[in-house]
Amino acid sequence: MAEFTMELNDEQREVRDWLHGFAADVIRPAAAEWDEREETPWPVIQEAAKVGIYSLDFYAQQYFDPTGLGIPMAMEELFWGDAGIALSIVGTGLAAVGVLANGTEEQIGTWIPQMYGDQNDVKVAAFCSSEPDAGSDVASLRTRAVYDEAKDEWVINGTKTWATNGGIANVHVVVASVDPELGSKGHASFIIPPGTEGLAQGQKFKKHGIRASHTAEVILDHVRVPGSCLLGGKEKLDERLARAREKARKDGERVKNAAMATFEASRPAVGAMAVGTARAAYEVALDYAKTREQFGRAIIDNQGVAFQLADMRTQIDAARLLVWRASWMAVNGKPFTAAEGSMSKLFASETAKKVTAQAIQILGGNGYTREYPVERMHRDSAIYTIFEGTSEIQRLVIARTLAGMPIR
């Protein structure tokens, strides 16, 4: 088990500096354009593929970093560049991780390469879980998958929403209910291959922020996929369902709680995204405060501005430390006895909203215009308190964990 450390090693620093250079030289100069266009930044994704950032190999290396700091470090640097473009670059990873975590070796080898394509013909993938009536309440999922034994096919019907890359993806990974009585324990994940009949994009959302990332509904109308598209295979699913039914009889409510615990390990990555956006806004505000003069001196010489910057930096550093702690705990199998994963995501996301708002205030009228990036960063920051569990859900998880109560 790796010791917890607050210092990156030489290899990690090298990767961090490489990512920072890409974010500064490629992502940030393109940020305003793709925010205005509200389109997927394919040229930037292709550049990321050419240098090796947009690839499964890169994310696997960071994911298996024994310190746990590879992923949060990478997320912070990319989202420092721009949240919308960064989400377009890392969004495929959500689907890829779903296959890695649940798929067979054959499924991993078959589908993940098709998610990324290659540097000359990049592809994206979509992970489809949320639904119009099942966001925070994952147990209320209505998309159904029914097995057609005669044809060895699964028939999937339902509507997914808030899907990053939904409808434009080469490969979709869809979470569906195969046994509604088991709630979230009765869910399974399915690969929807390219060109599958019955899958269509619903409405594309015009968003407040992260506008360079494509977000849309995915409609599944009698979608038929081969039995081989069930992640993990049917034998494994049947065994899991049998265990869940037995547990449901013995343990009741605790069956649902086990599923909720898995989210704790992924939330620090979102916290790291928020730290990157907050840090970017803080740096713009700091530079501005040093050079903007009023009443014959730089505005940073005024306590009203200097104290804001002091608070901003303190909150960012505190958020990063919470993220790093939770990430280290996750990779080393430490139990989240105080919902430390939710803590990191809650504090970091709220910090991003607060810091970006303070950055606008320090820049004054300039901060409110699109001539400066802080207004975009403020719009982008709002998503962190919503996706991967709202701030209200994080507080609920933390409170119920501390009280020793079931998490629904």
**Which residues belong to the active site?**
388
- Measured CA to CA, the distance from residue 200 to residue 114 in angstroms comes to 19
Nearest residue to 62 via CA among 12, 27, 13: 12
CA angle 186, 189, 195 (to 5 degrees): 140
DSSP letter for 232, please. Answer: T
- Measured CA to CA, the distance from residue 138 to residue 129 in angstroms comes to 8
Residue 20 one-letter amino acid: H
- Measured CA to CA, the distance from residue 333 to residue 327 in angstroms comes to 10
Residue 265 one-letter amino acid: A
**Residues constituting the chain:** 408
3 state DSSP class of 41: coil
For 14-30, give the secondary structure using H, E and C. HHHHHHHHHHHHHHHHH
Nearest residue to 232 via CA among 163, 339, 154: 154
Exposed / middle / buried, residue 4 (Cβ in 10 Å: 0-12, 13-18, 19+): middle
Q: Are 69 and 8 in contact (CB under 8 A)?
A: yes
3 state DSSP class of 272: helix
Which residues in 239-256 are b (16+ Cβ under 10 Å) and which e? eebeebeeebeeeeeebb
Nearest residue to 288 via CA among 171, 367, 196, 172: 367
Beta-sheet pairing, 187-192 with 297-298: unpaired
- Measured CA to CA, the distance from residue 332 to residue 300 in angstroms comes to 42
Token readout for 127 is 């992970």
